Chains A and B, each alone.
Chain A
């Protein structure tokens, strides 16, 4: 997610306004904010305008602690991982995890009791990867999902319908590719990073099974991944676009007829293309397959090295459990996300019509979340193999065999640690 000059200027101006208001009503005056302990809260940089101002507004509204929001551009995962080793890190931070090693290493606090009584109201698909040993280690903020965007007009011109199978996707992408427009954009790396385990789920498999074994030790996996190689070989894929898959620019600028991106991009696509687009799940691969869409959630976690553990937990409970109006605003006002609370998701009007409604339907019917046992080491091994299969035409069977070996070793390691 890059920032362009306009968003930078806009957010700069908005920030100026916000601080101007703040000086009138905020900390200096009545002192209600200054009383509690000082907490620092970290967010990664969201691409959608207004998000930063919104989270700062929430933090300012909290009365029991003085919460300072840090908006951190750049490699957020690396930054938080390093910051958790020290006391000077954040007290409260959002995390695309936490990872199993962070939980096992005692770097984040157990937040189970914050969800007393409302646990069932959280989307179970995204709560599961935040749960380890029956305890909850982060509160899901919003549900993110990824899906396939397509231009209705371009598909109609080529006499095509939205693809229902992976083979059909390959054919459609080839048919849509012209001298000026590519058929499909899966990210500048050809899909290895953005798709991840999605093709495996589309083939009816899993990354890690419920009992902690490798879930894709099956010939269907190699067949599914070979289709991605076809896309690359047909030259149907857009590669080397100025902005990557998470940003809808390539799609709205007409560089590609279909693009894999996130639900968050939907308002921007709608604004640029009006009704001339639709969304679809990643199509089923092979006879045993079914459509798949990845869902996930940034969660709010508390650092175990925080100096004010209870205050930090109280703040997380206030913002991500009690203040449902803020949760709703955060999910729907700045790019589209599905609220993590089922009760809120039902009431979200913006998600009840058009492509947004389709997307929500796909997420309930075909959504899968990466399991907690799928550790970064496993992900790197798999992603490397996928990249070699797609770009260099490596043999999918032999590549997958070596991934299966590495992932089972990694699963053994984390299981040994927990026992």
Chain B
């Protein structure tokens, strides 16, 4: 904003003086401002965002790469250059590699599950003749809830480990013992808590995307298929609906994977306590948070981990885009 205002002021004064002052200056100004001041307005609108992007994204990004080559304990202006030591120790660190596996397992599970669940919700809601708007809202509403709030509800009231937690109360009716959902690693019940909270939160949102896709499919296609003798149900779904939903599906999968990469909120709020975080279900972001920003404040090692993670994300995203042929012109 301030930039735009300043340029405005500048223009005003130059035209005011324009009557008596030499021409070249005004001409140069006009060239800079572009035809009909378009360049000026371009920067007035884009400038603040570019500035924000540079200050809050690119500078920290570059700084973090810089830090990753230093022994930076408790400092952001380190002097002790260590080369690739941080990278080798991070790659040799089994806690970090474990966290990458945690993340792979989580993604491999949450992406297909959310996909199937939101698609089935969309198919069901789409077939409703009455109360469609109502059901759509009901399923979408959880998307408006924050991850932190939902995680706390899951942790404190639904899946707490004592006998009066909701899950344990229900199981208690059938005579089962109380289960400490978040503390049991064998079988790993904590995944049930983590996965259900995320499903509840995001299934509705992707359902809306699928619904939009479904409503774009022309009814004539279904009529033609019926005339050709396609059986309603699986055959129609497999050969008409799914191919027609291809672009929506690609977008949904990409969004789901990116969201899984960013997993932090519900993990941190479900599993951390005052003394730290258990060694299981610890995705990379949580691990790096503790390494770099915890009491250890090992910013060099943490940055090296962040750079490695960024590289992995870049490779996966590019690979995925290639695989789906994203950005190619088709149809």
Chain B 293-316: CB-based contact to A (< 8 A → 1; otherwise 0): 111111000000000000000000
Within 167-208 of B, Cβ neighbours of A (below 8 Å) are at: 177, 180-186
Chain B 110-151: CB-based contact to A (< 8 A → 1; otherwise 0): 000000000000000000000000000000000000000000
Q: Which of A242, A383, A393 contacts B162 (CB 8 A)?
A: A242
- Tell me the minimal C-beta distance from B169 to chain A in angstroms: 13
Within 264-319 of B, Cβ neighbours of A (below 8 Å) are at: 273-276, 278-280, 290, 293-298
The distance in angstroms between the C-alpha atoms of A193 and B183, with both chains bound, is 13
The distance in angstroms between the C-alpha atoms of A82 and B295, with both chains bound, is 9
Count of interface residues, chain B, beta-carbon cutoff 8 Å? 34
**In the complex with contacts A77-B295, A97-B295, A376-B295, A188-B275 CB distance below 8 A:** no
Q: Is B160 an interface residue (CB 8 A)?
A: yes
B74 touches A187 (CB 8 A): no
Q: Which of B165, B273, B293, B297 contacts A187 (CB 8 A)?
A: B273
Q: Residues of B contacting A261 with CB < 8 Å?
A: none
Q: Which of A97, A194, A240 contacts B183 (CB 8 A)?
A: A240
- Tell me the minimal C-beta distance from B276 to chain A in angstroms: 6
Q: Is A99 an interface residue (CB 8 A)?
A: yes
Q: How would you classify the secondary structure of chain B's contact residues: helix, strand, loop or mixed?
A: loop
Q: Which of A81, A242, A377 contacts B160 (CB 8 A)?
A: A242
Q: Is A116 an interface residue (CB 8 A)?
A: no
The distance in angstroms between the C-alpha atoms of A239 and B160, with both chains bound, is 8
A241 touches B183 (CB 8 A): no
B276 touches A393 (CB 8 A): no
Q: Residues of B contacting A189 with CB < 8 Å?
A: 183, 273, 275, 278
B162 touches A241 (CB 8 A): yes
Q: Is A198 an interface residue (CB 8 A)?
A: no
Write the chain B residue with the least CB distance to A391: B185
Q: Which of A77, A107, A190, A384 contacts B95 (CB 8 A)?
A: A384
- Tell me the minimal C-beta distance from B279 to chain A in angstroms: 4
Q: Residues of B contacting A240 with CB < 8 Å?
A: 159-162, 165, 180-183
The distance in angstroms between the C-alpha atoms of A186 and B186, with both chains bound, is 19
Q: Is B108 an interface residue (CB 8 A)?
A: no
The distance in angstroms between the C-alpha atoms of A193 and B273, with both chains bound, is 8
Q: How many residue pairs at the A-B interface have CB separations less than 8 Å?
A: 113
Q: Residues of A contacting B273 with CB < 8 Å?
A: 187-189, 193, 244
Instruction: Categorize the interface residue count of chain A.
Output: 35 or more
B163 touches A180 (CB 8 A): yes
A384 touches B279 (CB 8 A): yes
Write the chain B residue with the least CB distance to A384: B279
A85 touches B74 (CB 8 A): yes
B186 touches A82 (CB 8 A): no
**In the complex with contacts A78-B295, A240-B181, A383-B276 CB distance below 8 A:** yes
Q: Which of B74, B156, B162, B280 contacts A238 (CB 8 A)?
A: B162
**In the complex with contacts A238-B162, A242-B160, A392-B185, A105-B75 CB distance below 8 A:** yes
Write the chain A residue with the least CB distance to B89: A409
Q: Is A84 an interface residue (CB 8 A)?
A: yes
Q: Which of B74, B159, B161, B163 contacts A105 (CB 8 A)?
A: B74
Q: Is A27 an interface residue (CB 8 A)?
A: no
Q: Is B104 an interface residue (CB 8 A)?
A: no
Q: Is A102 an interface residue (CB 8 A)?
A: yes
Q: Residues of B contacting A101 with CB < 8 Å?
A: 73-74, 296-297
The distance in angstroms between the C-alpha atoms of A383 and B73, with both chains bound, is 21
Chain A 232-252: CB-based contact to B (< 8 A → 1; otherwise 0): 000100111110101000000
The distance in angstroms between the C-alpha atoms of A154 and B44, with both chains bound, is 74
Q: Residues of A contacting B184 with CB < 8 Å?
A: 239, 391
B74 touches A81 (CB 8 A): yes
**In the complex with contacts A188-B161, A189-B275, A193-B276, A391-B183 CB distance below 8 A:** yes
Q: Residues of B contacting A105 with CB < 8 Å?
A: 73-75
Q: Residues of A contacting B294 with CB < 8 Å?
A: 77-78, 81, 376, 380
Q: Is A375 an interface residue (CB 8 A)?
A: yes
A377 touches B296 (CB 8 A): yes
Write the chain A residue with the least CB distance to B77: A85
A193 touches B274 (CB 8 A): yes
- Tell me the minimal C-beta distance from B275 to chain A in angstroms: 3
- Tell me the minimal C-beta distance from A386 to chain B in angstroms: 9
Q: Residues of B contacting A376 with CB < 8 Å?
A: 294-296
- Tell me the minimal C-beta distance from B32 to chain A in angstroms: 38
The distance in angstroms between the C-alpha atoms of A97 and B294, with both chains bound, is 13
The distance in angstroms between the C-alpha atoms of A44 and B161, with both chains bound, is 28
**In the complex with contacts A187-B275, A189-B273, A241-B296 CB distance below 8 A:** no
Q: Is B105 an interface residue (CB 8 A)?
A: no
The distance in angstroms between the C-alpha atoms of A383 and B282, with both chains bound, is 14
The distance in angstroms between the C-alpha atoms of A148 and B76, with both chains bound, is 42
The distance in angstroms between the C-alpha atoms of A85 and B274, with both chains bound, is 23
Chain B 5-41: CB-based contact to A (< 8 A → 1; otherwise 0): 0000000000000000000000000000000000000
Q: Is A119 an interface residue (CB 8 A)?
A: no
A393 touches B186 (CB 8 A): yes
Q: Residues of A contacting B276 with CB < 8 Å?
A: 193, 379-380, 383
Q: Is A109 an interface residue (CB 8 A)?
A: no
Q: Is A192 an interface residue (CB 8 A)?
A: yes
The distance in angstroms between the C-alpha atoms of A180 and B273, with both chains bound, is 25
Known A-B contacts: A77-B295, A238-B162, A240-B181. Give 7 more (CB < 8 A): A82-B293, A99-B295, A187-B275, A189-B183, A189-B275, A239-B180, A379-B276
Residues of chain B having any CB pair with chain A under 8 Å: 73-76, 95, 156, 159-163, 165, 177, 180-186, 273-276, 278-280, 290, 293-298
